[in-house]
């Protein structure tokens, strides 16, 4: 019990004092050479109660705090405000809604950073370059509190079903599955989306199974009702004490909600599921099929054995092998060869991916080193 209490204290301490800067902001509204920031805290006891946006403008426009809110409303269909006579009544954003006087009112804040927030004179305040502005639900019940550390807001318009060219499976119902490894390659986020088709409903684990059964570059491990390992091309994420896969549900990128039990997630038409191997919620993805189509081919007649392996592996195929590359769980290349018999004695125990290049493409298989 003492250990659990301590870990909870550490978590809460990190949550309260985590720094959030302009580099963490993802969604910018407006145009211009000046930048300000908006944080809105709904204080509704959810784990996504506070969000941050960026606001761009020209100094000659002399925009106000109210202009930031109205610009977000104009560019984000899921965001709505109600203000009268320079007084902020309501803010509604996806499933978050806090109404004026029921039971409290909104307070407004500004400062040079989130840590420096102080109550200001209201939404008529003129915006300054580099400044942070905030709305927090609560004015006098029991008291006003500055917005807490936010998460970056995403746009509901960044991704929709029309962006998907390749759909996996058959059926009249469609869902998106987004897998975000929390890393980037050549300044592109390692986040990937699959479009799946089915009839009726299915579990999130069944959705992953559809993807695995219809591609040769994606695999996952499901153990004790948890996703413990995901492999996608050279990208991989394996649960550890430091990091674990996190789950989200939604219908667009702006309304992700945390799901604690992957086994209980049910997908129906137009619903989405996201997996993330970092603290960020699944971000703007690349379509996996389009990105990786040059590396896939039928590998039914290609065998890698033994697997798990203690020392040597053998590659059995009638195709001409031009290269064999083995990557560790962190996506790092650890061995290259052109042989069909390879000594792996020096590799540490764990999960690996073996990429076997032939004149027809690249086959990707999971490998376990004992």
Domain-wise residue ranges, the chain = 28-152, 161-287, 302-369
State mean pLDDT over 179-199: 92
pLDDT tens, position by position, 277-307 = 999 999 999 998 776 654 445 555 688 889 8
Rounded to an integer, what is the distance from CA 143 to the centroid of its chain?
Answer: 34
Nearest CA to 48 out of 268, 302, 257, 189 is that of 257
Distances in whole angstroms, Cα of residue 214 to Cα of each of 51, 210, 211, 219, 297:
37, 6, 5, 10, 11
What are the helix (H) ranges across 21-169?
Answer: 65-75
CATH classification code of 302-369: 2.60.40.10
**Residue 275: strand pairing partners:** 179, 247
Cα–Cα nearest to 57, from 77, 71, 46, 39: 71
CATH number for region 161-287:
2.170.130.30
- pLDDT tens digits for range 136-147: 998 876 789 999
For residues 122 and 143, give the distance between their C-alpha atoms in angstroms, rounded to a whole number.
16
Written as six digits, the tokens of 173 are: 């119902």
Give 163's strand partners: none
- Nearest alpha-carbon partner for 286 in 166, 136, 149: 166
Model confidence, pTM: 0.77
The pLDDT of residue 9 is 40
Which of 36-45, 70-79, 92-101 is least confident?
Answer: 92-101
Q: DSSP letter for 90, please.
A: E
Q: Is the Cβ–Cβ distance between 47 and 33 less than 8 Å?
A: no
Taken as a whole, the chain contains a residue count of 370
Q: Give 32-60 pLDDT, tens digit per residue.
A: 999 999 999 999 989 999 999 999 999 99
- With H, G, I as helix, E, B as strand and everything else as coil, classify residue 92: strand
28-152 and 161-287, same CATH topology: yes
Confidence band (pLDDT; 50, 70, 90) for 357? confident
Sheet holding 226-232, edge to edge: 218-223, 226-232, 235-238
What pLDDT was estimated at residue 141? Answer: 64
Task: Read off the DSSP letter of residue 205.
Answer: H
Tell me which of 2.40.30.10, 2.170.130.30, 3.20.20.70, 3.40.50.170 is the CATH number of domain 28-152: 2.170.130.30
205, 242, 216: which is closest to 330 by C-alpha?
Answer: 242
Question: Which residue shows structure tokens 């996190």?
Answer: 246
Secondary element (H or E) of residue 291: helix 288-292
Of 306, 322, 291, the residue nearest 365 (C-alpha): 306
């Amino acid at each position: 019990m003492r250990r659990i209490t301590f870990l909870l204290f550490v978590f809460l301490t990190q949550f309260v004092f985590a720094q959030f800067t302009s580099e963490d902001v993802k969604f910018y509204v407006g145009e211009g050479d000046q930048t300000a920031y908006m944080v809105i805290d709904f204080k509704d006891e959810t784990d996504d109660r506070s969000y941050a946006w960026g606001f761009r403008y020209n100094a000659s426009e002399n925009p106000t705090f109210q202009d930031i809110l109205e610009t977000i409303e104009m560019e984000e269909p899921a965001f709505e405000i109600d203000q009268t006579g320079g007084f902020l009544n309501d803010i509604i954003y996806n499933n978050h809604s806090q109404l004026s006087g029921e039971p409290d009112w909104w307070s407004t804040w500004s400062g040079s950073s989130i840590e420096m927030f102080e109550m200001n004179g209201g939404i008529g305040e003129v915006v300054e370059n580099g400044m942070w502005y905030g709305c927090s639900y609560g004015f006098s019940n029991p008291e006003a509190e500055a917005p807490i550390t936010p998460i970056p807001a995403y746009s509901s318009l960044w991704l929709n079903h029309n962006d998907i060219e390749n759909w996996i499976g058959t059926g009249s119902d469609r869902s998106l599955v987004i897998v975000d490894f929390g890393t980037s390659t050549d300044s592109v986020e390692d986040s990937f989306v699959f479009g799946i088709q089915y009839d009726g409903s299915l579990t999130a684990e069944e959705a992953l199974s559809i993807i695995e059964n219809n591609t040769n570059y994606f695999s996952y491990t499901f153990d004790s009702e948890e996703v413990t390992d995901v492999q996608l091309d050279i990208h991989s994420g394996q649960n550890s004490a430091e990091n674990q896969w996190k789950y989200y549900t939604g219908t667009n990128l702006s309304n992700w909600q945390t799901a604690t039990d992957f086994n209980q997630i049910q997908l129906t038409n137009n619903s989405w599921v996201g997996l993330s191997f970092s603290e960020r919620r699944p971000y703007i993805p690349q379509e996996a099929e389009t990105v990786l189509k040059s590396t896939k081919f039928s590998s039914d007649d290609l065998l890698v054995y033994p697997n798990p392996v203690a020392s040597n592996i053998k590659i059995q195929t009638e195709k001409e092998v031009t290269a064999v590359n083995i990557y560790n769980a962190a996506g790092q290349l650890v061995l290259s060869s052109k042989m069909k018999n390879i000594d792996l004695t020096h590799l540490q125990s764990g999960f690996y991916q073996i990429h076997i290049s032939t004149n027809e493409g690249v086959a990707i298989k999971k490998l376990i080193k004992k």
